[in-house]
Amino acid sequence: MASVPLKKNYRCVPSLQQFYTGGPFAVSSDGSFIACACGESIRIVDSSNASVRSTIDTDSEAPTALALSPNDKLLFSAGHSRQIRVWDLSTLKCVRSWKGHEGPVMGMACHLSGGLLATAGADGKVLVWDVDGGFCTHYFKGHTGVVSSIMFHPDTNRALLFSGSADATVRVWDLLAKKCVATFKKHESAVTSIAVSEDGRILLTAGRDKVVHLWDLHGYGFIKTVLTYEVLEAVCVVHSGSLFASFLASFYKQSEKRKSVSSAIHFVTVGERGIVRIWNSESAACLFEQKSSDITASSDMDRGFTSAVMLPVDQGLVCVTADQQFLFFAPLEQTEGMFKLALSRRLVGYNEDIVDMRFVGEEEKFLAVATNIEQVRVYDLVDMSCSYVLAGHTETVLCLDTCVSSSGRTLIATGSKDNSVRLWESERRCCTGVGVGHMGAVGAIAFSKKRKDFFVSGSSDRTLKVWSLDSLVDEAVQPIKLKAKAVVAAHDKDINSLAIAPNDSFVCSGSQDRTACVWRLPDLVSVVVLKGHKRGIWSVEFSPVDQCIITASGDKTIKIWAISDGSCLKTFEGHTSSVLRASFISRGAQFVSCGADGLVKLWTVKTNECIATYDKHEDKVWALAVGKKSDMLATGGGDAVINLWYDCTADDKEEAFRQEEEEVLKGQELENAVSDADYIKAIQIAFELRRPHKLFKMFAELCRKRDAQGQIDKALHALGKGEFRLLFEYVREWNTKPKLCHVAQFVLFRVFNILPPTEIIEIKGIGELLEGLVPYSQRHFSRIDRLVRSTFLLDYTLTRMSVIEPEIDEKERKDESLKHSHVQHVDEVLSTENADSEQKQNSEERQAASKKRKSKKSKDSTNKKVKSVAYTSVEALSLQA
C-alpha cells in the first residue's frame, strides 16, 4: 500500500461568526446588508451568506437603537450613555456625535430626505435632530412612559412624526407647528409597532394587547380594531407591486372575493406564536396563516418573533426571532390559487456554546451543529446559511453523530439532556425514531461504522445502550420507538465519549472516572480497561488501520493505547489545558486535537511531533469534525464561532516552489542591475527580495560616489510607505554596529530630507523604530565627539615637536614675517661681529701657543706641576673663547 502523504498545514476560514446578540438592527434599503447589535459592537452583515463585512466598535457600549440613512451611507447608533453617533459606513469612522436625552435612546428613525433624525428615549421625550449640524430642531414631550417605536410619515410633503410608548398611547407630532396634533389612546398595553398605509391616509398601530388599531390621519379619528389574539411585536403593510401583493391578487381571483379589494389595506403581523399572518383591514379577517414553523416546534413561548421588516419589491419578508435568527420568507404559489410562505434563507446570529458537530451526507456538503438549545441546526457549507432545523428534543442537545445507511439514507442520531436519543432522516428533515430508557443526560453517541444498523449511546447514568435500527420503516409518518439490544453499567462516573471500531467488533467508552473501557459488540462484554490518565477522559477514537485507540484527557495529555493488552504506546504533551477532542487523519499517521486552551494542534504519530498549532478561537474548543472524504476539518467552541479548515499542504508546496522560482529570477535581475550600475532598480529589487545585506552594500557603494546624495534621493523617491517602514527597520539594525553606522546615518539623513514629518508619523510602527534609532545615534555622536577632542591633543603634540606649524591667521602671519626679518638682520650683524672677534681671538691664540712652545723648549727641567697648571690655564682660556 502506498504511503499516505502527511499534512503539514491547514488554512482556516472563519465560516460562521456571531453577528447578532439580540436588540436593535437595521436593514438596508435594498436588503443587501443588515446592521446588527453584537455585544458592544455593531456588525455589518451580508444578508445573502451571513458573512461579516465590517465591525464598528462602540467604545464598550451595547447599542440600544440603530437606524440607516435612506442612501445607506450613514449609520446612526445610540447606547445607554445617551451618546448619539453618526458613522460613515465607507470609512467606519464616527463623523459626529452628541447628547440630548436624559435616558437611553430606545428608538430611531431617519427622514426620507436624510436630513433629519428622530430619537425616542426612555425619558419619555421625542427629539428631532439636524443630521449635518448635530443640533436639536424639535423637542417633544408628553409621553409618560418609555418611547419604544418612532416613525416619520412616508410622504415627505406631510411633516408628521409618529411615536408609540409603553404608556399605551400613540402621538402624532406636527413638525411644522412643532406640537402634538393627536393622541390615540385605544391600546391597553405597550405599543410595539407603527405602520402607515401606502396612500398615507391610515395609521396602523400594534401592541401587546393583541390588537391592531386603524386610525384616520386626516381627521385623526379611530377607524377599526382588528383582533389578532396574539401578543404582537411588529405590523407591516403589504405594498402594491410586491410578491405578497401579487399572490394576494391571485388569491382573490380564485376565491371570487373582489369587492372592497381596492380600498382594503393588507398587513402582516408577527408575535409570540412565531407564525406569520396576513390580514384584510376591511373584513378584519386573517387571509393567511402559517400552519407551523421552526419556532412553533419549540415548547418555549419565548422563542417567538421579536420584529419583522418588509423587504424591497421581490425579496419578501424578514422576521427576527428571540433566539437571534433572521428568517427570510417568500410566498410560494400552490394549487387552487392558494400560496404558502417558504423559508428561503435563515441566518443564525448567535449560536451560544457549540458542543458537538458532524459532517452530513456522502458528499459532506452540510454540517450538523449542536448548541446550547434543544434543536440541531444543519448548515450549508457553500454559503453557511442554516438550511434546516431538527426540532423535537425538550432539553439541550449534547451530542450527535451521522452516517449514510446501507439503503442510502442520511441519518443523524442525537442525545439530549431530556434523557432520550432521537434518530433523524436528513432528506425528510423529520424524526424517525425515539429511544427512551436512560436515567440521565445522554452525553455520547456513535453510529455503527460498517453495517450501519445500530448505534450506541452513553449517559450520565453511567450506562451504555446499543440501539437497533432494524425496526425503521421507510417514509414513516410518526417516529417509532427504538429498542435497546444490550445494556451495561460501564463506568463509575459520567460517560463523555464513545467510538465504534471500523469493523463494528468493539466499542470504546471514555469517562470522567479517568478510564477508557473497550467492549465487545453486540453483547457489551468487557475486553480491556485503559488506565493511566490523571483526569477525566473527554474523547476516544479507534485508529482506522491499527489496533489502537487514541484518548484525550483533562490532564492535558493525549495517549495512544494498544487494544490487545491495554498498554500505553505513546503520550503526547503540548496543550496547556484540558484536551477535549482528538481525531485521526491521514489513515492514522497523524491526528488533530483541540482543547480548553482554544488551540488546535496537528500531530505526527511516528515522530511524536506537533507540527502545527493554530490559535483561531477565543474560548474552549468543544467540537471537532473530520471529513472522511474532503480532508476538511470543522471546529467550534464557547466563542460561538465555527471555523472550517482546509488542507493546504499541496498549495503551500506549490506556492513555495513558485516563490523560489521568482526569487531566482529576481536575484539574477538584481545582479544584472548591480553590474550595470543601475542602483535605483537594484535597490527596488532588493526591497522586494528582502535582502538587507545586499541593500547595505549598494548604499555603501553609493556613499563613495561624488553624486551620492542625488542617486540615493532618486532611489528613495521610488519607495512606498511599506518599503520606507522596511528601510527604517534595516537602518535600525545597521545603526547598532559601529562599522555600518556611517551608511545608516547618511541614509537616515536623506530620508528625513525627502519625507515631511506628517508622512513619517503615518508610517506604521514608526514610534518603536525611532526609539531604537535614538540611543545608538546618540552613542555614535558621543564617540565621534570624543575622537574630535582627541585630535586636539595630537595637534598640540605635533606642534610642540615642530613637526607641523600651528595654524595662524593672515595678520599674525605678516607680523611674524616682519619679526622674523628683523631677527634675521640682527642675527647677521651679530654673526659678523662674532666672526671678527673669533678671527682676532684665533690670532692671539696662535701667538700665545708659539710662545708656549718656545718656553717649553727652554725650560725642560721645570716642575711638572707648573706645566699642568699652564696647560690647565690654556684649556680654560680655550674653553672661554
Predicted confidence (pLDDT) per residue in 274-312, tens digit: 899 999 888 888 888 887 766 654 444 456 899 999 988
- Return mean pLDDT, the chain: 85
The string of pLDDT tens digits covering residues 440-478 is 999 999 999 998 899 999 999 999 999 998 877 777 778
Q: Which distant-in-sequence residues (6+ apart) come within 8 Å of 473 by Cβ?
A: 480
Q: What are phi and psi of 809, to 5 degrees?
A: -85, 180
More confident residue, 810 or 219: 219
pTM of the model: 0.74
Q: Within 10 Å of residue 160's Cβ, how many Cβ atoms?
A: 20
Query: d(Cα 33, Cα 25) in Å, to the nearest integer?
Result: 11
- Residue 179 pLDDT more than 60? yes
Residue in 168, 178, 104, 102 with CA at minimum distance from that of residue 140: 178
Distances, alpha carbon 844 to alpha carbons 424, 849, 868, in Å: 149, 9, 21
C-alpha grid cell, residue 68: 440607516
The string of pLDDT tens digits covering residues 95-151 is 999 998 999 999 999 999 999 999 999 999 999 999 998 899 999 999 999 998 999
Q: For 57-60, which contacts have Cβ atoms below 8 Å and span 24 or more sequence positions?
A: 58/85
pLDDT at 58: 86
Q: Do residues 270 and 305 make contact, with C-beta atoms less than 8 angstroms apart?
A: yes
C-alpha grid cell, residue 359: 459532517
pLDDT band at 254 (very low <50, low <70, confident <90, very high): low
Across residues 353-381, what is the average pLDDT?
92
- Residue 873 pLDDT more than 50? no
- Residue 854 pLDDT more than 70? no
Across residues 705-714, what is the average pLDDT?
78
More confident residue, 437 or 801: 437
Helix ranges (H only) for 228-330 are 243-255
pLDDT band at 622 (very low <50, low <70, confident <90, very high): very high
The string of pLDDT tens digits covering residues 511-567 is 999 999 999 998 999 999 999 999 999 999 999 999 999 999 999 999 999 999 999
Query: d(Cα 94, Cα 751) in Å, to the nearest integer?
Result: 34
Amino acid, res. 654: E
Amino acid, res. 385: S
- Residue 176 pLDDT more than 90? yes
The string of pLDDT tens digits covering residues 561-597 is 999 999 999 999 999 999 999 999 999 999 999 999 9
- Residue 860 pLDDT more than 80? no
Share of the chain above pLDDT 90, in %: 51
DSSP-derived secondary structure for 99-160: E--SS-EEEEEE-TTSSEEEEEETTSEEEEEETTT--EEEEEE--SS-EEEEEE-SSTTS-E
Q: Which distant-in-sequence residues (6+ apart) come within 8 Å of 582 by Cβ?
A: 539, 541, 550, 551, 552, 558, 591, 592, 593, 594, 624
β 339-348/642-647 pair status: unpaired
For residue 806, give the DSSP letter. P
Mapping DSSP to helix (H, G, I), strand (E, B) and coil, where does residue 527 land? strand
Sheet of strand 25-27, all strands in order from the earlier edge strand to the far edge: 25-27, 33-38, 41-46, 52-57
The string of pLDDT tens digits covering residues 787-827 is 888 888 888 888 888 766 655 555 555 565 555 555 455 45
Comparing 115-129, 322-336, 848-862, the range with the smallest average pLDDT is 848-862
pLDDT at 832: 56
pLDDT at 437: 92
Radius of gyration of the chain measured on its C-alpha atoms: 47
Q: What are phi and psi of 444, to 5 degrees?
A: -150, 145
For residue 566, give the DSSP letter. -
pLDDT at 822: 53
Query: d(Cα 572, Cα 577) in Å, to the nearest integer?
Result: 13
Query: d(Cα 281, Cα 225) in Å, to the nearest integer?
Result: 9
Q: What are phi and psi of 752, to 5 degrees?
A: -65, -25
Mapping DSSP to helix (H, G, I), strand (E, B) and coil, where does residue 217 land? coil
Share of the chain above pLDDT 70, in %: 87
More confident residue, 416 or 247: 416
Comparing 316-320, 490-494, 612-616, 724-728, the range with the smallest average pLDDT is 724-728
The string of pLDDT tens digits covering residues 714-763 is 888 878 777 888 888 888 888 888 888 888 888 888 888 888 888 888 88
Mapping DSSP to helix (H, G, I), strand (E, B) and coil, where does residue 85 land? strand
pLDDT at 63: 93
Residue in 66, 13, 14 with CA at minimum distance from that of residue 38: 66
Helix (H) or strand (E) holding 430: strand 430-436
Mapping DSSP to helix (H, G, I), strand (E, B) and coil, where does residue 764 land? coil
Across residues 684-711, what is the average pLDDT?
83
